[in-house]
Every structure is written in structure tokens, then in C-alpha cells.
Structure 1
């Protein structure tokens, strides 16, 4: 038997509210509808069922046995639909109790911990999974749906910085970070106000492997200097790179935020014509920007940016 198109979930909700309250005025108040609208929904539902549901006693409606049977199955239907909506939202990451965030190793000293603490204060019941990796890996995982949002550094000329060129993602900037020459303590360049990269043509360098924003900036700076650096080693994490620099294996170009990672290296500013800047940015899918958990993360990132790199709760 085909279900009449006039039997809608909204009418079933009105019907169930009436069966529980048995009072038109109270149903009207509960559902924020006029009593006329409530009466019209009940009458329309009764017509669509093609059998009587109520007995009229003056202006009152007395439920018949048919109404009680309908109420039993209508409640099951509403419960199933609500469960289905919840499951769909969870599968899509909306209103889930777990948020999967990706970020860079170089943001784990201050930025990410403060963001996570602020987010937990906003959403105490939220569980957070943190994945660390390169820009390339994190952007791919975001595109594949394996991550809900990422906080990464973007090269100053990246198209992801421009909303007009990036229709699929929402970009929320947190702060800008200049790139410096990373040198061991007491190097020949120690104490210089600005470093000319051309003075380092004969020096050895260490850098990150491809896929990291810092390796992209490394290449960009030397492209501006007009020569290819002598690279003695490439590594896959910022901590190993800092240790190699401090051990005198080679110089490198690193963002200012890593300066507090080690007391055994010095970050020396580059001359402006050789410099580069990273923009630390939250990226999330535009299709999910209204998700409550991502709204909370976005708000925390905006507050962090307005406070000059400090959490709203610090």
C-alpha cells in the first residue's frame, strides 16, 4: 500500500505531541505553531490515513484506538529518522564527538597545544586526534576526508591564501612567520643584523624533504639569490634538522617559530630581497564550515590570531 504524500514527518510530530499532551493550546505552545495550524495538521493527517483517528466531543478531540496504534508506529518512525540523521552527520563528521586535526611538527611547541586547550574549553566532550606531517600529506588527507581540518604554513604566494582561487576550502589565517638563516652558535654570521645569502655560496646546507612549506621557502629564497645551494642532507622532520644545524653539519633556512626549540642554534634575519614569509593558516572544507565542532575550532583560531599568537584562554 502506497503511503499518501500528505503523511509527513512534521504532521506525525504534531500528532505525537497531541497524543502526549491531549491539549491543542499546549501543543501549539510546545511547537511554536498557532492552534489553527495544529488543528489543520491533525485534520490533514486523518484525511491522508483514510480512516478516523479522533472522535469529536464539542471542540475536543478524543483519540480512537486507531490513533493509539498510529502513535506507536509513528514514534518508531520518528526515532529511526532521528537516528539516521545522527548517523549521517557522524559519518560526514558533523556534530561528531571526535575531531581529526592535522598540523606541522613546527607548530607543536606553542600554537597547537594552545589551540587544543582552548578548543577543549569550548567543547569539553570533544575528543581530538592530532596527525602531524608535511603540507603535501596533510592537504591530501584533508581532501580525502581523513582529516576534518589542518593548521599548516602556507608559502606567501600560495593560491590557498586567496579565497578567489580556492573555492573548496575555508582559510583562516593565524599569524605570519618570517624565514631566517639557521646557524650554529658562534658561526661566522653570528650577530649580523641581516644576512646576504650570496655570502653563503660555499657553505653546506641541510633542509627538509619536498612537501614541507619550509622546504618550499628554502628553494624560493635561493631562487631569489640566484644560485643552487650545496645541500649535504635532507631530512623528514624539523627536530632532526635543528640538531644537524646545531651540530655544524650545515646551515638551513627555518621559520622564526622554531627558535625556541633549541638553545644551540641562532636565527639570523635575511636581507629583504632574499626573504620569505609563511602564513600559518587553518584550512577546512567549505562544505563543512557550519559544523559546530569546526565552528568552535575556527573561533579559537580567529581569537588566537587577534591576540597575536595567544589562545583566548591564556
Structure 2
């Protein structure tokens, strides 16, 4: 069994399509197909149920996928550890976020400390983040809500109140606080389901006896303030995502623990480089500074 066979198998297993997998691997489809066939011959069983170019993992393939992912994960961790020990520092930190409002300040502070380190950031839904975490494909995730799992290390770094943003001309703009039930008939702008803050807010509103009515659902949280300012709707916005806009008023929510927990997540078995350790220090220090 060859390493290349495992790498090709993972690509096909995740996409379940031979043509797309070949394109992502930058190999010919015939070469990819032959490699998978040799792997199946080595194992003595088929790993996929086939229908044209579409493939679906069978029972053998599903079991083997778990072992193959673990084997390649450990090899990648060994490569990273050797690189770190030999002082060939990683050039890029892999980061994922479900909450991006604090990220610019955190990255600015980290760049001051380690200007030689680059970073790659992905904005993801909660489920997408879980997938990357379980594969060990990111150094850290900044997530709300916190996530738990067998392989997930979770450190809560901040408790963030969620506010109600209304336009300055809104009927509630002269208030400093409001109860959730008073928002029953309002129109909201928000992010799509699957983002942690949206799911949290929907759940708390339902416990208060109503479901928010959304006139806009997107995947860019930073756009919500502009939509509120344009009087498209009101929004639930975490305090760390609040913008100093002249035409928006932020109201506190009465009688409800409408807060989100922000957590720093990592894979328990992923090798943590010195740069990644320093990034964690920057994150913790940043949230300590805004908590004071």
C-alpha cells in the first residue's frame, strides 16, 4: 500500500466524484481510477459503489476512510513537528472562524509579534468548522458557540453580550434597553442558519415565544450594520461587532442572558508549532484586554 494511494482515496472519498477529484489533484482521471483500483486490489474488497463517474463509499470504504484519515493526519503532524524542531518555521497559520468581528485586531497584534508568519483564514459555518477540526486541517478556530468533541480542545476566551441594532429613526431608538417580546413583530436582517450567533438568537427568541422574521439572510456579518442603517431591518449584533455608526442605536436586551461565548478551538492531537502557541497567547491577551 502506497502513500499516494491513500491521498488519492481521501480525495475521491470526500468528493465522491472521480472527475472532480482528478481535477483537484491535478492528475488525469484514468491515472486516478487506476490508483484507486490498485488500492482496492491490495485490500481485496471494493471501497466504492459506482454509478458512472459518481461514487459512493460502501461499508468497507467508510471504515477504511477513518483509518486512512488518521494515518495521513499523523504523518502530517510528524512533518510539522520535524520542521518546527529544525527551526524551519511554518510560513502559514491555518485559521477558521465562525465569528470574525474581533479577528482584524487579533491578527494585527499577532503580526506585530511575528511579522514573518503568514496566515490563511476561512469564514465557515459551525458544521464546516467541525469537519476541518476533526480532520486536523486548521491550527485554530475562533468559534461561537463553543464546540465539544472527542478530538476538540475548547478554551472559552470571552463572554460577548448580544445587542439589538436599530436605525436612529426607528420607534425604539430612544430606548436604552428592550425586552425580547417587544421585538415579536419586527423585521430582521441576519446571517444564515448554521452560523453560531444566528442559531443561538433563534433559540432564545423561540424560548421567549416567537421566531424572528428575517427579510435578509446572508453570510457576511459585517454587512448587517449597513442594512440596519439603510432601514431594511433591525439586527442582533454582538457587542464586539458593533460599529460606531451615526445612524444606528444599540439596545441592551432585558431579562435574558443573550450572550455568546467565544472559544478558541484546536485538534487535541494536532502538533502545535511555536508560532501557533504564540498566536494563542495573542488571542487570550486580546480578550483579557477588552474584558477590563
CA deviations 1:179-231 (Å, max 9, x no partner) are: 11121112111132321222222222222111111211220221121112332
In 2: Cα distance, 1:243 partner to 1:147 partner: 31
1:305 aligns with 2:287: yes
State the aligned residue count: 214
8 A contact 2:77–2:271 mirrored in 1: no
In 1: Cα distance, 2:144 partner to 2:186 partner: 27
For residue 16 of structure 1, what is the aligned residue in structure 2? Answer: none
For residue 268 of structure 2, what is the aligned residue in structure 1? Answer: 286
8 A contact 1:179–1:278 mirrored in 2: yes
In 2: Cα distance, 1:303 partner to 1:292 partner: 17
8 A contact 1:205–1:229 mirrored in 2: yes
Q: 1:172 aligns with which of 147, 150, 155?
A: 155
CA deviations 1:233-286 (Å, max 9, x no partner) are: 32221133222222222222121122216433222111123x421122211111
CA deviations 1:107-163 (Å, max 9, x no partner) are: 2xxx32332233334434322112223333333223333322111222xxx5x3xxx
For residue 278 of structure 2, what is the aligned residue in structure 1? Answer: 296
- Relative to the length of structure 1, the TM-score reads 0.60
8 A contact 2:166–2:249 mirrored in 1: yes
Larger CA Rg, structure 1 vs 2 = 1
Using a 3 Å threshold, how does the CA distance of structure 1 residues 112 and 206 change in structure 2: closer, same or farther? Answer: closer
Secondary structure of the residue aligned to 2:170 is coil
In 2: Cα distance, 1:106 partner to 1:290 partner: 22
Using a 3 Å threshold, how does the CA distance of structure 1 residues 235 and 261 change in structure 2: closer, same or farther? Answer: farther
Q: 2:127 aligns with which of 130, 136, 141?
A: 136
In 2: Cα distance, 1:229 partner to 1:303 partner: 35
- Relative to the length of structure 2, the TM-score reads 0.64
- Using the TM superposition, give the Cα deviation of residue 87 of structure 1 relative to its aligned residue in structure 2, in angstroms: 9.2
In 2: Cα distance, 1:258 partner to 1:306 partner: 17
For residue 108 of structure 2, what is the aligned residue in structure 1? Answer: 117
In 1: Cα distance, 2:136 partner to 2:270 partner: 11
1:239 aligns with 2:222: yes
Any stretches of 5+ residues in structure 2 without a counterpart?
Answer: 1-74
1:100 aligns with 2:91: no
Using a 3 Å threshold, how does the CA distance of structure 1 residues 121 and 259 change in structure 2: closer, same or farther? Answer: closer
Secondary structure of the residue aligned to 1:211 is coil
In 1: Cα distance, 2:166 partner to 2:96 partner: 29
For residue 21 of structure 2, what is the aligned residue in structure 1? Answer: none
In 1: Cα distance, 2:120 partner to 2:244 partner: 23
Any stretches of 5+ residues in structure 1 without a counterpart?
Answer: 1-84
Using a 3 Å threshold, how does the CA distance of structure 1 residues 91 and 209 change in structure 2: closer, same or farther? Answer: farther
Structure 1 residues 1-314: aligned runs within 5 Å: 88-90=78-80, 95-104=89-98, 106-107=100-101, 111-154=102-145, 160=147, 166-260=149-243, 262-273=245-256, 275-288=257-270, 290-308=272-290
Secondary structure of the residue aligned to 2:177 is coil
In 1: Cα distance, 2:241 partner to 2:186 partner: 22
| Aligned Cα root-mean-square deviation (Å) | 2.9
